[in-house]
Structure 1
Amino acid sequence: MTHKAWWKESVVYQIYPRSFNDSNGDGVGDIKGIIEKLDYLKNLGIDVIWLSPVYQSPNDDNGYDISDYQAIMDEFGTMEDWEELLAQMHQRDMKLIMDLVVNHSSDEHKWFQESRKSKDNPYRDYYIWRPGKDGKEPNNWESTFSGSAWQYDETTDEYFLHLFSKKQPDLNWENPKLRQEVYKMMKWWLDKGVDGFRMDVINFISKVPGLPDAPNPEGKKYVGGGQYFIDGPRIHEFFAEMNQEVLSQYDIMTVGEMPGVNVEEAKKYTNPERKELQMVFQFEHMDLDSGANGKWDLKPLDLRDLKESISRWQTGLHGVGWNSLYLNNHDQPRMVSRFGNDKEYRVVSAKMLGTFLHMLQGTPYVYQGEEIGMTNVQFDSIEDYKDIEILNMYKEKVVEGGADPAKVMESIYVKGRDNARTPFQWDSSDNAGFTTGEPWLKVNPNFKEVNAEQAVLDEDSIYQYYRQLIQLRKTHPIIVYGEYQLILPEDKQIYAYTRSFEGEKLLVVTNFSEEQVSFELPNDVAFDAKEVLISNYPVSGIDDFRAFTLKPYEARVYKGV
């Protein structure tokens, strides 16, 4: 039985507000700037906007360090601006998903200011405090942003846990009072009319009791520790409680960002019968081009690994939970630079990647600029970068570790988060039309060729192709609900699959290479083509659908039975 739902049939657009559109010339995108561009998004066909954090924040981690969950950051505008944004979106039949960041707060949040005052402060247990061990940190866990996950605080002679920046102390979900505060805040936003939440690193909120040292055979100073806080022992209990107290009371969309989650756990999180969440963001496919030493250790993607990963999630969650579909976001490099070719094949490879993604089962997320084929950037100097993760890594490897700066910069060019955060390229005027002032982060110099104004006017642009993809999804239930089956698993250049639903079939064939390659439909795949649903090169007819030559980065979708 197919359970239909509006959030399964929607296409989500992620806005990173700092970089989207600046209405007042201070160089920082803002809420009024988003309002100015709602018609652009409506024209694209977007149903839901996921807004990255706009809450009050000292901005140590670009707004993911929140000092007041019920106030708007001054740079972004006022609560009245936000209310106007919500009203304008709802008038256009678009929904708003807010970012919920409750694994940690800012160290400037009033809870933490109280918590650090004394060991018997009523807010002390809102955070995770421990005494040192043998004159050192309480354990050997490493922060996601490098260095120890513990910060010493002189006032009470103890350490607090921060899995991210030292200005992002982890909240203590073991404390029922803290949980009730979070639920109260969530209800406050939902009662204002928010349509759901994207929950930041939400599978980190349950830590293993005792917070033991992570295994460390190589004797490093600090090590991951993920096995003690990813999908921890009480995580499903916390979600069941959150669902009962908050989520089940509203018709909303929920997606949990869950680094390290596997298919089996994701089934539990997203199975409607368990009453937890609706979807998860998983990162398995985002790690396939990383070497043994993690994200910055570059290695080429083997398409067969991508097939294996995507197929595991497509088949694993089918009929049980629901997938989130994405190839880039505010934390990942630009997808056309990473998985396509951002030079001579930028347009066709961006269309191919969009086709590949939007024809899968799940809810597609379009990250701002993806729809016009924005690319990675290469700034000359480390001084031009703003992201805390990049700067900490560079300091650790180059300044303290003596690594070759050119080699480290190469990793940043490929994987750095600022690739996704350069200002949106609206037109070919100064600063790409993003601001009349000095942009907070430099604009990608290719904005004269790559911008929204040009894309909207060009009938053959990536933007117009995305409009088609999104429209197809609204008119063909098979794209939303059809069952996925991989074909040609061992092919190193072609990613092909079928979708089946209520007597209909789709055949999706994509070429992930810049070479011409021959496609042959295996004899054991039953399919009879009726029409070409969409393609990024002209296709003469449907007669040759069983065997044809794919041009560089070509994508074809056939509909049939």
Structure 2
Amino acid sequence: MEKNWWKESVVYQIYPRSFKDSNGDGIGDIKGIISKLDYIKNLGVDVIWLSPVYKSPNDDNGYDISDYKSIMDEFGTMEDMDELISEMHSRGMKLMMDLVVNHSSDEHHWFMESRKSKDNPYRDYYIWKPGKDGNEPNNWTSFFSGSAWQYDEETDEYYLHLFSKKQPDLNWENPRLRKEVYDMMKWWLDKGIDGFRMDVINLISKADGLPSTSKGPAYDWGGEFFMNGPRVHQYLQEMNREVLSKYDMMTVGESPGASTEDAAKYANLDGTELNMIFTFEHMDIDSGPGGKWDVKAWELSDLKEVMSKWQYDLHDKAWNSLYLNNHDQPRMVSRFGNDKEYRVVSAKMLATFLHMMQGTPYIYQGEELGMTNVQFDSIEDYKDIEIQNMYREKVIENGEDHDKVMESIYIKGRDNARTPIQWSTDENAGFTTGTPWIKVNPNYKEINAEQVLSDSDSIYYYYQKLIKLRKEYEIIVYGKYDLILEDHPQIYAYTRTWKDEKLLVINNFSSEEVILPLPANLDFHTAELLIGNYEEAYATSLYDEKLKPFETRVYLFK
């Protein structure tokens, strides 16, 4: 297997609005990030992925970009950005920017020109269609609820927006548009950034003729015609030839609806497209037939099946990205662990479970503190457009039960990840001296960076150990994954094999003590415990060993 720095790296994602405010306006900013670089470096991470800081009207918190070569005023200036790149590089860290090119803001000058007339030179930078019999051009629905089409009186046509109506989709069929995107990417790479996380990149090619879906209104909303579309690989290969192959850089493509077969093409080992993609399959194991907001209890068997499939199917074909939460997902300790009495041990277990797999691990800000989901009293306290649109559609327009809908928001809402980082016990968790743009999670008095940094047994220092092990043992990066105890309802255990070494990773996903029934063909005479989340974890023999609640252990044997 070819060795690469991006395979051996650990990535830390910063959502700038919620990270650290330096000027008291209640919004995190670039200077705030610079002030905390040593905190991140101390964890041992190599790469920071920065969610969008470009100029934006902020309809979707910066994922609606009005100028790709300017910085949002709230976040600072281009000089601040240059300083951030320089300060990161001086610490030996790399910077991966968010690239949002499936859509732009409707306030981007391309779109403002595009909507002026049908013969404007920018018209086909976007996807415009006449209506059909007084209705939208087709029946696709937006990721953010409602129709994916917006009528525009000026030219009596509709434009496509798979997300907010202020996020019109770019028309990748247009070679002029593609060249503009590639030039912009090179501009940032020449500035010194080290890679791109590509937002919903597998949506850039839409099916010819934009046909309506016949799969029913609830969950199948046209995705078969815009996910992994007919020319997506052609476009990414062109992007690779024009831009990516010319730089020593890292790429990861967010790819909703991508299968392992798709991933093997997007992240193929011959390097003609991307380094890796983000799958969503494991993020859907608690979704019922009605989609994300139709919450159901998740099963460990489902997690095993999905994670193992991606490990097996991509081995020697492509590279995995590893994550359990990000800016679009709830907090992992609340979702997959126990955020009450076993918060610390279950957070450590989940980190071990993930970081010991084959792939590049991603840490989302605050994960290393064990930050949890939040339950705001009022729908007014939620800022996310997806939450607000869903609530309006379900409760206000369709009369669904308020409490039931709020419960699904508590479990799955994106704002769970977007509450400010809890730096200290000071007012507003030390995030800002002003009024935070979104409320702070009230548990910041108990959960904060000040506390974890003063406790040698904290989640933060556990992450530090995990990352250090990854640097020391190639098997953790490159070893082959094999699931064991496949049918055990509480234990997720697997091995990694590399050359003449074997790694055994054991995770108890329950709040009960569990007997560990290991297969007899594993030889533990030379087993060395590399890491565990209980101090007294040791074993002369692992057979029929008792695991504590949410216990994790990693053994190396040769």
TM-score when normalising by structure 1 = 0.98
Match of 1:298 among 285, 295, 299: 295
What is the CA distance between 1:319 and its match in structure 2?
Answer: 1.2
Bigger mean CA deviation after superposition, 155-164 or 268-277? 268-277
Report if the CA contact (8 A) 2:219-2:291 is conserved.
Answer: no
How far is 1:222 from its partner? 9.5
Q: Tell me the secondary structure at the aligned position of residue 312 of structure 1.
A: helix
Choose which of 500, 503, 508 in structure 1 pairs with 2:500: 503
Letter in 2 for 1:416: G
Quick check: 2:126–2:159 contact (8 Å CA) kept in 1?
yes
Superposition map of 1:138-149 within 5 A: 138-149=137-148
SS at match of 1:273: coil
Task: Specify whether residues 147 and 28 from structure 1 end up closer, same or farther in structure 2 by C-alpha distance, changes over 3 A only.
Answer: same
| Matched ranges for 1:263-282 at <5 A | 263-273=260-270, 275-282=272-279
Gaps of 5+ in 2: none
- Per the alignment, residue 308 of structure 2 pairs with 311
Change (3 A) 1:501 1:153: same
Percent identity (aligned): 71
After superposition, the CA RMSD in angstroms is 1.0
Q: Please state whether the residue corresponding to 1:49 is helix, strand or coil.
A: strand
Residue aligning to 2:371 = 374
**In structure 1, distance between residues paired with 2:318 and 2:260:** 10
Amino acid at match of 1:462: I
* 1:509 alignment partner AA: I
Q: CA deviation at 1:540?
A: 5.0
Partner of residue 178, structure 1: 177
Larger deviation, residues 542-551 vs 221-230: 221-230
CA–CA separation in structure 2 for the residues paired with 1:389 and 1:546 = 48
What is the identity, as a one-letter code, of the residue corresponding to 1:256? G
Deviation per CA, 1:258-301, whole angstroms, max 9, x where unpaired? 00000011001111325100000000000001111011111111
Asked if 1:422 corresponds to 2:446, the answer is no
Q: Partner amino acid for 2:309?
A: R
Aligned equivalent of 1:59:
58
Q: What secondary structure, in the 3-state scheme, does the structure 2 residue paired with 1:272 have?
A: coil
CA contact (8 A) 2:20 2:431 kept: yes
Q: Deviations over 1:156-198 (max 9, x none)?
A: 0000000000000000000011000000000000000010000
CA distance in 1, matches of 2:318, 2:219: 36
CA distance in 1, matches of 2:542, 2:242: 52
Equivalent residue number for residue 538 of structure 1: 535
Contact 2:219–2:290, Cα closer than 8 Å, also in 1:
no
1:408 pairs with one of 405, 409, 418:
405
C-alpha distance after superposition, 1:284-335 (max 9, x if no partner): 0000011110111111111011001000000111111100000000000000
Corresponding residue to 1:356 among 336, 340, 353: 353
Amino acid across the alignment from 1:108: E
Query: What is the one-letter code of the residue matched to 2:161?
Result: H
Which of 227, 243, 246 aligns to 2:243? It is 246
Q: Which residues of 2 match residues 118-517 of structure 1 at below 5 A?
A: 118-217=117-216, 220=217, 224-273=221-270, 275-517=272-514
Cα separation, partners in 2 of 1:90 and 1:104, compared to 1, 3 Å: same
1:88 aligns with 2:80: no
Amino acid at match of 2:259: N
Q: Give the C-alpha shift of residue 25 in structure 1.
A: 0.2
**Structure 1: 5+ residue stretches without partners:** none
Q: Distance in 2 between matches of 1:190 and 1:35?
A: 20
Amino acid in structure 1 at the alignment position of 2:71: I
Amino acid corresponding to residue 74 of structure 1 in structure 2: D
Equivalent pair of 2:218/2:290 in contact (CA under 8 Å): no
- How far apart are residue 223 of structure 1 and its match? 5.4
Aligned to 2:73: 74
Shift of 1:528: 4.5
CA distance 1:452–1:127, shift in 2 (3 Å):
same
The question of 1:559 aligning with 2:556 is answered yes
1:115 is the counterpart of 2:114: yes
Distance 1:528 1:405 in 2: 58
Does the aligned pair in 2 maintain the 1:261–1:282 contact within 8 Å?
Answer: yes
Q: CA separation in 1, counterparts of 2:93 and 2:271?
A: 28
Q: Note closer, same or farther for the CA distance 1:526–1:424 as it changes in structure 2 (3 Å cut).
A: same
Q: Partner amino acid for 1:470?
A: I
Secondary structure of 1:412's partner? Answer: helix
- In structure 2, relative to structure 1, the CA distance for the partners of 1:266 and 1:221 (3 Å cut) is closer
